[in-house]
């Protein structure tokens, strides 16, 4: 694979979403402008608001970056990063991230600091490195994709955040409430690498993030670093057992649970065994409808992310 290089003074085209994460867009904008001014770096900021929606901002940033071999940058949470990555993948442009979200798994996995000033130093001084992208049908995911209970959990989380604010405790509390409610299981037929399997599950979760997998303690944690994705399915559980599973995940011991089925793969087809021509799928926290069957795979081309050579937080999980 031929590395993608960027010019020392390649202009930055930054999509800034003030609705993401902690809502500190003004501070982030000041940090961006100050760092670019000190470095003498040309930059253009496309700030999302009620007059300028996310997708038009993303498309304009990518088109302008392609014309001058610039860097497309996402400043926001996982949803914003996903949208910008989707448009940047295959464009020939380098990709940068200024994380503004709640958990920031993508940036943390790749050694990009959550502090905007520090993240700007990475963006202005490092070179692009290839990172793996997951796809489900025509949708990109950098962290995870899911259907069933986990997708419902994310949908409920956004409703709670709209009411109580974008804080970690709100996300965790909403996850607990969703998990405790009754949910009908899904009947799915999975096929991957010549293997066929019928499963009954409340959720199917496909991960593309080593840090997240290490934190919950799954044996497939390094699959995303080895050119694979990791599938996780939960067998139907009682409310009490579901609470126990949440505790196991929080303690980093999810892989020890008998109710968890997990395996690595490069491509997998998921078909419904009962009805369901369309299904809600969450990709990096954003909910959308996908037609069945679902085709999960590792993208044949990487995303060229401006990042350090070493990601300290990920390395620490392996010690």
Query: pLDDT, tens digit, for every residue of 100-145?
Result: 987 899 999 999 999 999 999 999 999 999 999 999 998 999 999 9
pLDDT at position 244 is 64
- Strands 267-272 and 186-192 come out as antiparallel
Alpha carbon of 270 to those of 20, 147, 186, 261, 297: distances in Å?
A: 31, 11, 11, 15, 11
Pairing assessment for the beta strands 278-283 and 286-291 based on DSSP bridges: antiparallel
Q: The whole model's pTM is what?
A: 0.87
Following CA atoms 223, 224, 228, 229 in sequence, which dihedral angle do they give, to the nearest 10 degrees? 90
pLDDT at residue 160, rounded to an integer: 45
Low-confidence spans in the chain with pLDDT less than 50:
21, 160, 169-170, 173
CATH fold for the domain made of 12-132+301-317: Rossmann fold (3.40.50)
CATH 3.40.50.10330 domain position(s) in the chain:
12-132+301-317
Give ranges for CATH 2.60.200.40 in the chain. Answer: 139-298
In CATH, what number does 139-298 get? Answer: 2.60.200.40
- What pLDDT score was predicted for residue 102? 79
Report yes or no: 93 and 61 within 8 Å, Cβ to Cβ. no
Please tell me the distance from the alpha carbon of residue 122 to that of residue 115, in angstroms, as a whole number.
11
Asked whether the beta carbons of 239 and 280 are under 8 A apart, the reply is no
pLDDT recorded at residue 157:
57
């Amino acid at each position: 694979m031929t590395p993608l290089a960027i010019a020392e003074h390649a202009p930055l085209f930054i999509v800034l979403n003030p609705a993401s994460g902690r809502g500190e867009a003004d501070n982030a904008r000041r940090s961006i402008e100050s760092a670019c001014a000190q470095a003498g770096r040309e930059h253009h900021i496309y700030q999302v608001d009620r007059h300028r929606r996310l997708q038009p901002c993303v498309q304009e940033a990518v088109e302008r970056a392609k014309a001058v071999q610039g860097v497309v940058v996402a400043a926001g949470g996982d949803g914003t990063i996903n949208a910008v990555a989707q448009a940047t993948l295959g464009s020939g442009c380098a990709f940068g991230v200024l994380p503004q979200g709640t958990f920031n798994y993508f940036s943390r996995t790749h050694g990009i600091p959550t502090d905007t000033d520090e993240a700007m130093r990475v963006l202005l001084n490092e070179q692009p490195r290839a990172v793996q992208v997951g796809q489900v049908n025509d949708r990109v995911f950098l962290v995870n994709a899911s259907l069933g209970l986990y997708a419902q959990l994310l949908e409920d989380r956004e409703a709670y955040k709209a009411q109580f604010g974008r804080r970690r405790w709100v996300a965790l509390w909403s996850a607990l409430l969703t998990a405790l409610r009754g949910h009908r299981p899904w009947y799915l037929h999975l096929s991957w690498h010549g293997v066929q399997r019928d499963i009954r599950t409340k959720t199917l979760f496909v991960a593309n993030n080593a840090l997240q997998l290490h934190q919950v303690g799954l044996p497939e944690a390094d699959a995303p670093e080895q050119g694979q994705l990791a599938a996780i399915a939960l067998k139907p559980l009682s409310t009490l057992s579901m609470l126990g599973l949440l505790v196991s995940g929080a303690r980093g011991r999810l892989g020890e649970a008998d109710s968890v089925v997990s395996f690595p793969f490069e491509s997998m087809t998921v078909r419904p065994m009962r009805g369901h021509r369309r299904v809600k799928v969450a990709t990096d926290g954003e909910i959308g409808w996908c037609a069945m069957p679902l085709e999960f795979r590792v993208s044949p081309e990487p995303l060229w992310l401006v990042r350090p050579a070493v990601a300290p937080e990920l390395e620490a999980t392996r010690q």
